[in-house]
Amino acid sequence: MENQTEDWGYCIRIQALEGYLDKVGTMGTAYNWVAAIGHKGDKETPNPHYHIVIKTAILDRTLRARMRVLFDKGKGNEHMSIKKWDGDIKAVSYLFHEDPDAPLLISKGLGEDYIENARNLNKRILVEVAKSKGKAAWTLEEDTITELKKDGVKYAQLSKWDIARRMYLIALRNGKHPPTRWHCIGMCERIMFHFCDGKPDLENDLAQKFAAEVFPPR
Strand partners, 54: 10, 34
Q: What is the C-alpha to C-alpha distance for residues 26 and 52, in angstroms, rounded to an integer?
A: 12
Q: What is the C-alpha to C-alpha distance for residues 206 and 55, in angstroms, rounded to an integer?
A: 58
Residue 3 lies in a domain: no
Sign, CA dihedral 55-97-51-60, equals: negative
What per-residue confidence (pLDDT) applies to 138?
A: 65
Q: What is the C-alpha to C-alpha distance for residues 112 and 107, in angstroms, rounded to an integer?
A: 9
Q: What is the C-alpha to C-alpha distance for residues 163 and 161, in angstroms, rounded to an integer?
A: 6
Strand partners, 108: 34
Q: What is the C-alpha to C-alpha distance for residues 74 and 13, in angstroms, rounded to an integer?
A: 13
Domain co-membership, 129 together with 158? no
CA distances to 80, 119, 150, 184 from 144, in Å: 42, 35, 10, 12
Q: Which of the 8 DSSP states describes residue 110?
A: S
> How many domains are there within the chain?
2
Last-in-domain residue among 133, 151, 167? 133
Check which CATH number belongs to the domain holding 38 and give it: 3.40.1310.20
Q: Which of 192, 189, 188 is nearest to 168 (CA)?
A: 188
What per-residue confidence (pLDDT) applies to 6?
A: 47
Q: pLDDT averaged over consecutive 10-residue blocks of the chain (218 residues)?
A: 57 93 90 89 75 91 93 90 91 89 90 92 84 69 92 91 93 84 89 92 90 82
pTM over 0.75, yes/no: no
Residue 2 lies in a domain: no
What per-residue confidence (pLDDT) applies to 192?
A: 94
